[in-house]
Chains A and B, each alone.
Chain A
C-alpha cells in the first residue's frame, strides 16, 4: 500500500522518500524529542434528495501536510496545503521553534507496528455510478413514502469519502493507509391531525456504496425512519425524575462513549483533569461490565488499520469485570505517562493535531435474556434510540438524549414517550448496572465524536442493559 500512496500523494508534488528524511532531519535537532509529518489527500462526494428530487450533489477536495515537533510536554505545529519541499521545510521551521520557548524535558517515543487490512483500499466514490446513486436515493425515498400517508417530507443523504494518508515519524515510522467511508441518512417528517414529528435512521462503514443496495439495507433505513416517526407521533410526555432505565442494544452504547469513554482518554488522565484520573485498578463499574475500545473490527466506521500516528490499532480493555484496566493513548501522552500507545492517536485532518480518541467502544455481552431484563422492571424507561450526548470529563456528569423511548410498566414495554435527556455521573453510572444482556450489537455506523473542535468517525455498541437509577429529563 505504501507504494500506491507514495505514488498518488507524494509523486505529484515531486516528493520522494529521501525528502521525508530531509524534512524530519530538519525538524529534529536540539531539544526536539519527536517529530512527524502527516500527508493527507481526501475526496468526498455527497448527494441529497429532498422534495422527491435529487437537488444537490457536492464534491470536496482536501489535501495537505501537517508537521509536528514535540519537546517534552510542548508541541509545535504547522501545516500547509502546498506539498512541495520548500513549503514543507518552511512549515518544519515554524513547528520546531517550540523547542526555544520555556523549559525542556526529554521523553522516549513508542514504535509503530506491522501492516494489516481491515477494509479494502478502494475508492468508494466510484463503486456506484452517479446514475445508480441517484436511483438508490429515489428507491429509498419511495420506500419511505410507501410506508404511510402521513409521511410529508423525506430527506436522504448519501456520502462517500476516500482518504489517503501517509505518516513519517522521527521514530522510524513510515506507514500509509487508504480509508474508505460511506454513510446514508434518512430523515422523515410525518404529519397527522396537525401534529408533526420526525424520525431518522442511518448506517455506514469503511466499505463500498453497494453496502446500501445489498440486502436492501437502504430500504430498511427508510422503513425504520418512518416507524420511529410514527412512534413519536403517538408519544406521550416523558416522566421526570430518577428511575430504572433499560437501554436497548447497539447505538445506546453512546452511554459508554460519554459516561466513561472520554474520561479514559490518556491526555485527560495525564493532566489529572478527568474524574477517572488516578483510579487505575479500582472498581468503577459493576462486575457485570467489561468495556473495550477496538479499532480492529472489519469495515467498521471507527476502525483503522493504523491510527494517525502510524501505530497499529488494537483492542484495548478499558474496564474488565468492573475494574479500571486501561486508558486510550496516543504517542505523546503514552510517552509522558511511560506506557505504550494503544493506537488511539487520531486527528480530524492534516490541519489538526493528533490526540487520544476512541475508535469503536463497546461493552461485552452478559448472560441475561433481554426480555428477562425488561420483565425485572416495575416502573421505568426503555430507551432504544438516541441523538447525541455530551460529557464534562472533570465533574463526570454526562447526558445523552433519547429519540425513541417507552415506558416499562409491570415488566412490560408499554406507551412510547417523547424524547428526553438522560443525565448521570460517569464514575457512578456503571456501578448501577445490575443486568447485562446476551445480545451485544454494534451501532449501524453513523457516529461522529467531537473533542476540542475536532470531529472523527467512531463506533459504539452494547448489549441490552439495565441501570438501576438514572435521571430522566421529562416533563411529567
Chain B
C-alpha cells in the first residue's frame, strides 16, 4: 500500500487542532478540546479462489467539545474542508449556549496531563500492494478449503491493512499525537455434512505485519472450527458447569469493566454498586490493565482527555481495587479520574497452570461454550442469558457439538463461582485471558 507521510500528516493535524482550539476561543469558549484523525487502508477479499472485493479506505475526522463556563457543546465532521470545520466549531459553540450548566463538566485537570510519551512501537506501516494482499488472502482461503472435503463453501478471506495518525489537544496547552498501524487477516468457511451446514472463522491481527500468524494456519483453524461444529445437537435443560473458551471469556471481562465504569456507577446502573474493596471473585483472581504493552493493540500513553495512563491492578486477590473513570464520571463520584476516558487498555487476568485439556479434565462433565449469540446481559442486575454453541464434555473429553441452547445465570454469581482460568490464551486481541471454568449455570434446550 502507498505509504502515507505520517510526519507531514501529524504536522498538518496538529496545526489543525491548534487552529480549531484558537477559533473556539474566538467564538467565546472558555475551554475546548479537539481530536483529529486521519487513516488510510486497503482491504482485499478473495472468495472461492478468486479476487472478490478491493476497498481503499481513507477516513478523516475531527471532533470538538467546547465549554462556555460549565455549559458544553460538541460537534464532529468526517470532512476536513475549512467550510466543514467552521460549521462544526460554530455548531458546538451555538449548542453550548443552550445546554444547561453542569458543575461536573469540563476538561480534565491540567496537572493530570501526560508529560511522558514513550515510544510504544505502534506504527509499522506495511508496504504491500494489491497483488501481494490478494496472494496472501488466497493462500489463507486455499488452506481452509484444502483442509477437508467437508469444507464445501466459503465466505472468503480478507487481508486488511491500515495506518493512522491521531492528534488530541486541549486549551491547557496539551497537544500530542502519534501514528499507528493495524493489520489483519481473516477467513470464514462453510462445512457441510448430511443436512448440517456450519460456518466458522478465524483471524489474526497485529500492529506489525511480522507479528501476524501465518496465512495457512489461519485458514486451517477456520476450517477446523467449522468442521468441529457439524451435526450439533441440542441438550436437555439442566444445570451444569460451563467452560467459556478463551476467545469468548474476554467478553466476561468486558462485562466486568462495564459494571465498574464511571457512567454505570454514577447512574447506579450496575450490579457492582459500592463494590470497591469487596471480594467480587475468588481470592486467587488478579486483573490488570497495562497501557504500555509494546505494540499493544490498545496501548497509549494518554487517554481521550490527555490524562496520563497508568499500569494498575483492578482486581487484587479477588478484591475490586479500582474503578474505570473519566474526569467527568470521577467528578460525579467525587473521585479522581483513572485515565480511562476512551476505555481500558490491554486488560489481562492472571492465568492459572492448566491448559485447555486439563481444564476439561477438571470440569469432568459439562459444557464448553465456543460461541455466544445475542446481547442478553442486564447491566443493572447482572442477569445473564445468551444463546450458545459449543461441545458437551463427559469424563473430561469432548463428546459431541451442541447448538441451539442458552446459558443463563447472574454475573455476580458467575464471578464468585469462577473455578479456574486456563493458560490457553491462543487467540488474537488486546485482552489476555485463558478459558474460564464456571461452577454451574442453567442450560436451556429441549
Residues of A within 8 A of B (CB): 12, 45, 50, 53-64, 73-82, 91, 94-95, 97-98, 101-103, 130-131, 134, 152-153, 155, 189, 191, 196-198, 238, 240-242, 271-273, 275, 351, 353, 387-390, 392, 394-395, 397-401, 418-425, 471-476
> 19 other contacts beyond A59-B75, A399-B376, with CB at 8 A cut-off?
A53-B100, A58-B76, A59-B91, A62-B77, A73-B47, A134-B98, A153-B268, A189-B269, A241-B444, A271-B155, A272-B153, A273-B153, A397-B404, A420-B376, A421-B374, A425-B404, A471-B404, A474-B408, A475-B408
B409 at the interface (CB under 8 A from A): yes
* A15, B373: Cα distance in complex, Å: 47
Which chain A residue lies CB-closest to B105? Answer: A55
Asked if A421 and B383 sit within 8 Å, CB to CB, the answer is no
* A60, B77: Cα distance in complex, Å: 6
Which chain A residue lies CB-closest to B56? Answer: A78
Instruction: Please provide the 7 A-B residue pairs with the shortest distance between their CB atoms, ordered closest to farther.
Output: A473-B406, A399-B387, A53-B100, A394-B199, A57-B95, A59-B91, A399-B374
Are A54 and B155 CB-contacts (below 8 A) given A64-B79, A94-B56?
no
Are A61 and B72 CB-contacts (below 8 A) given A53-B100, A394-B199?
no
Segment of B18-26, B80-88, B120-128 in the binding face: B80-88
Which chain B residue lies CB-closest to A350? Answer: B78
Residues of B within 8 A of A (CB): 47, 50-60, 72-81, 83-84, 87-88, 91-92, 94-96, 98-102, 105, 130-131, 134, 153, 155, 190, 196-199, 229, 232, 234, 237, 267-269, 273, 373-376, 378, 380-381, 383, 385-387, 389, 403-410, 442-446
Are A189 and B77 CB-contacts (below 8 A) given A152-B268, A242-B445?
no
Contact partner, A390, options B56, B102, B199, B373, Cβ 8 Å? B373
CB distance from A447 to the nearest CB of B (A): 14
Asked if B380 and A395 sit within 8 Å, CB to CB, the answer is no
What would be 8 A-B contacts, judged by CB atoms less than 8 Å apart?
A: A61-B76, A76-B53, A78-B58, A102-B50, A390-B373, A399-B374, A418-B378, A420-B376
* A384, B383: Cα distance in complex, Å: 19
* A74, B48: Cα distance in complex, Å: 12
Contact partner, B51, options A101, A198, A240, Cβ 8 Å? A101
CB distance from B173 to the nearest CB of A (A): 25
* A180, B81: Cα distance in complex, Å: 24
Asked if B56 and A388 sit within 8 Å, CB to CB, the answer is no
Asked if B54 and A475 sit within 8 Å, CB to CB, the answer is no
Are A74 and B98 CB-contacts (below 8 A) given A351-B57, A399-B386?
no
Which chain B residue lies CB-closest to A76? Answer: B54
Asked if A54 and B405 sit within 8 Å, CB to CB, the answer is no
Max count, chain B CB within 10 A of own CB: residue among A56, A191, A422: A56
* A273, B226: Cα distance in complex, Å: 13
Which chain B residue lies CB-closest to A424? Answer: B404
Max count, chain A CB within 10 A of own CB: residue among B73, B98, B131: B98
Give the chain A neighbours of B87 by CB distance below 8 A: 61
Asked if B385 and A474 sit within 8 Å, CB to CB, the answer is yes
* A472, B237: Cα distance in complex, Å: 10
Are A473 and B376 CB-contacts (below 8 A) given A97-B130, A191-B268, A420-B385?
yes
Give the chain B neighbours of A63 by CB distance below 8 A: 78-79, 84
Contact partner, B267, options A62, A153, A389, Cβ 8 Å? A153
CB distance from A308 to the nearest CB of B (A): 16
Asked if A101 and B130 sit within 8 Å, CB to CB, the answer is yes
Contact partner, A473, options B98, B131, B444, Cβ 8 Å? B444
Asked if B53 and A353 sit within 8 Å, CB to CB, the answer is yes
* A390, B72: Cα distance in complex, Å: 37
Contact partner, A54, options B56, B99, B229, Cβ 8 Å? B99
Asked if B374 and A78 sit within 8 Å, CB to CB, the answer is no
Give the chain A neighbours of B130 by CB distance below 8 A: 97, 101
Asked if B444 and A474 sit within 8 Å, CB to CB, the answer is yes
Asked if A423 and B387 sit within 8 Å, CB to CB, the answer is yes
Contact partner, A240, options B57, B58, B95, B442, Cβ 8 Å? B442
CB distance from A419 to the nearest CB of B (A): 6
Chain A interface helix/strand/loop/mixed? strand
Give the chain B neighbours of A94 by CB distance below 8 A: 56
Give the chain A neighbours of B443 by CB distance below 8 A: 240
CB distance from A426 to the nearest CB of B (A): 11
Contact partner, A73, options B52, B105, B375, B406, Cβ 8 Å? B52
* A116, B411: Cα distance in complex, Å: 51
Give the chain B neighbours of A390 by CB distance below 8 A: 373-375, 387
Are A423 and B72 CB-contacts (below 8 A) given A63-B78, A197-B381?
no
Max count, chain B CB within 10 A of own CB: residue among A61, A63, A238, A474: A61
Asked if B59 and A59 sit within 8 Å, CB to CB, the answer is no
Give the chain B neighbours of A395 by CB distance below 8 A: 196-199, 229, 232, 403
Which chain B residue lies CB-closest to A268? Answer: B155
Are A388 and B375 CB-contacts (below 8 A) given A82-B81, A475-B442?
yes
Asked if B408 and A420 sit within 8 Å, CB to CB, the answer is yes
* A153, B442: Cα distance in complex, Å: 32
* A101, B232: Cα distance in complex, Å: 39
* A241, B134: Cα distance in complex, Å: 47
* A317, B110: Cα distance in complex, Å: 61
Give the chain A neighbours of B101 by CB distance below 8 A: 53
Which chain A residue lies CB-closest to B76? Answer: A60
Contact partner, B385, options A62, A95, A98, A421, Cβ 8 Å? A421
Give the chain A neighbours of B229 by CB distance below 8 A: 395
Are A55 and B389 CB-contacts (below 8 A) given A80-B58, A272-B153?
no
* A390, B371: Cα distance in complex, Å: 12
Asked if A62 and B78 sit within 8 Å, CB to CB, the answer is yes
Give the chain B neighbours of A59 by CB distance below 8 A: 74-76, 88, 91-92, 95
Give the chain B neighbours of A476 by CB distance below 8 A: 442
Are A421 and B406 CB-contacts (below 8 A) given A59-B88, A131-B98?
yes
Give the chain B neighbours of A394 by CB distance below 8 A: 190, 197-199
Asked if A64 and B74 sit within 8 Å, CB to CB, the answer is no
Asked if B389 and A397 sit within 8 Å, CB to CB, the answer is yes
Asked if A74 and B52 sit within 8 Å, CB to CB, the answer is yes
Give the chain B neighbours of A73 by CB distance below 8 A: 47, 50, 52
Give the chain B neighbours of A421 by CB distance below 8 A: 373-374, 376, 385-387, 406, 408
* A239, B360: Cα distance in complex, Å: 28
* A271, B188: Cα distance in complex, Å: 13
Asked if A130 and B373 sit within 8 Å, CB to CB, the answer is no
Give the chain B neighbours of A81 by CB distance below 8 A: 58-60, 78-80
CB distance from A213 to the nearest CB of B (A): 17
Which chain B residue lies CB-closest to A130? Answer: B98
Which chain A residue lies CB-closest to B229? Answer: A395
Asked if A473 and B75 sit within 8 Å, CB to CB, the answer is no
CB distance from B189 to the nearest CB of A (A): 10
Are A78 and B376 CB-contacts (below 8 A) given A59-B95, A399-B387?
no
CB distance from A6 to the nearest CB of B (A): 18
Give the chain B neighbours of A79 by CB distance below 8 A: 56-58
Which chain B residue lies CB-closest to A48? Answer: B99
CB distance from A281 to the nearest CB of B (A): 19
